[in-house]
Structure 1
Amino acid sequence: MSPKTPSHGVSRDEWAAQIASLDTPRPSPRPRKEPVTAGRILDAALRIVEAEGYDALTMRRVATVLEVSPGALYAHVRDKAALDSLMIGELCSRVTLPEPDPAQWHEQALDVCRQLRDQYLRYPGIARAALESAPLSLDTMRIYEGLLAVLTAGGASVRTAAWAIDAAFLYIGAYSNVAVRRRATKDAADQVLDRAEVIERFKMLPADRFPITAGHAEELTSGEGHDRFDFTLGQLFAGLTSRIEGTDAR
């Protein structure tokens, strides 16, 4: 073969260049994107809500975080309502359910409710999704079944327990939403009055028209942290006692 004859179409100069480039590091291949899955969509959605609040969550926003087109999501999650259901189901799956104990049923029921409240508060505004959707996922039904077991172990009828659980879920959602809104308002504009200011304003009211409010300002504004949450649900579950003791025969 003549020195000038190209070998397989490669000239001597090209051949020399290839040899010279043997020691040149080749660029790393671009990493392949992880495939889109329902799990990755759920994780991205929860990260958005935790950082920015539920109002920031859209399917397009999730697609942006995952660096895919919005259409890529719909093969795994039907729509925003389905995504909401997945998120609530995930939060419910994190709640630890107790082994029902007839001697501890009241505190056990409160503990389950507190756990769910804390999950809602971690993801600002997500309780709205719980209030607006039917609890039909297996994870939400797991909590429903667990609370039924706790309350019926304490002596409540199935119907009484079911009604109490419905009321508890509504209260947990409403409480969480209000707590998040108050926190956001205070952080944004510092317009939420602190307790001392509320007490002073109550005391300024004319006693002849507002005798109880003006005269009991401290009691009316009392409570720290989640004291009122515990009180309200404590009263709800304590109210089952009379029915357990004989007025609920069904």
Structure 2
Amino acid sequence: MNPRERRAARHLPPHPESGADPAPRRRKAPITVEQVVESALDVVAAEGYEALTMRRLAAALDTGPASLYAHVVNKADLDELLIGRLCAELTLPAPDPADWRDQVHGVCAQLRDRYLKFPGISRAAFAMAPTDLETLRVSEGLLAILLAGGVAPQAAAWAVDALLLYVAAYCLERSIARQRSAQDDTAWVLDREELLGRLTALPAESFPHTTRHAAELTAGEGHDRFDFTVILMLDGLARR
């Protein structure tokens, strides 16, 4: 079975009844897909997603890049495996029509926290047509919650996409900000007091609203803005 066939097989539902192999064959290669994914996550956790190349991953596994292609098709396939692994760790609640907004918010927060553990990894989720079963499990779970909450099917379908896109974008920006703040010569750019001072120093006749509401524009701690945006999106769905 070539890598493309193996990738297609990963996207099929499991069949426990046919999983047993009466005559298991000895694995010729010591590297497994699971080891590839774990090593890739280790690289991202230590060095950031931008450092993750097939060559860097091969070095982490003490092998050559060509060996990796026996397990993954290409970098895009690896990206899907990484996002699938993170999605596998999410807990999806049974849909509750009375609590659907909090449930969706909770799933999004779980995914946010998983992304943020691996700097920049949410970049892998962009422009990806999800076929990994774990990724689809999350979108299925969110869709079920939204439908249980009375959201129309089309609005619910697009809302799942919009919510996952926002989570990925939020985490990518946070990762970039964290990376910049680690550099002494650019840390001041992210300082709230620095930004507040610059906004309030603008000429009021040209920027009346910015100067008047500089405190509001720079407000927020932790994930305040994340919570605000997700809740805003869900409230909008509720009104529809």
Q: Tell me, which stretches of 5 or more residues in structure 1 are unaligned?
A: 1-32, 244-250
Amino acid in the other structure paired with 2:216 = E
Match of 1:239, SS state, is helix
> Are 1:194 and 2:184 counterparts?
no
> Are 1:100 and 2:95 counterparts?
yes
Distance 1:182 1:71 in 2: 34
Give the TM-score normalised by structure 1: 0.81
1:82 corresponds in structure 2 to: 77
Q: Deviations over 1:85-134 (max 9, x none)?
A: 10010001111101111111001000101111111111111111101321
2:238 corresponds in structure 1 to: 241
> Are 1:209 and 2:206 counterparts?
yes
Amino acid in the other structure paired with 2:124 = A
Match of 2:220, SS state, is coil
Give the TM-score normalised by structure 2: 0.84
Summarize the alignment of residues 45-60 of structure 1 with structure 2, pairs less than 5 Å apart.
45-60=40-55
Higher-Rg member (1/2): 1
CA positional deviation for 1:69: 2.1
Distance 2:79 2:100 in 1: 31
After TM superposition, the runs of 4+ consecutive aligned structure 1 residues lying more than 6 A away are none
1:228 corresponds in structure 2 to: 225
Residues 86, 114 of structure 2: 8 Å contact kept? yes
Amino-acid identity (%) = 53
Residues 182, 192 of structure 1: 8 Å contact kept? no
| Matched length | 211
Distance 1:61 1:203 in 2: 46
2:9 corresponds in structure 1 to: none
Q: Deviations over 1:70-94 (max 9, x none)?
A: 2222111111111111001000111
Amino acid in the other structure paired with 2:72 = V
Q: What is the RMSD computed on CA atoms of the aligned residues? A: 1.4
Distance 2:50 2:36 in 1: 17
Amino acid in the other structure paired with 1:59 = M
Q: Tell me, which stretches of 5 or more residues in structure 2 are unaligned?
A: 1-27
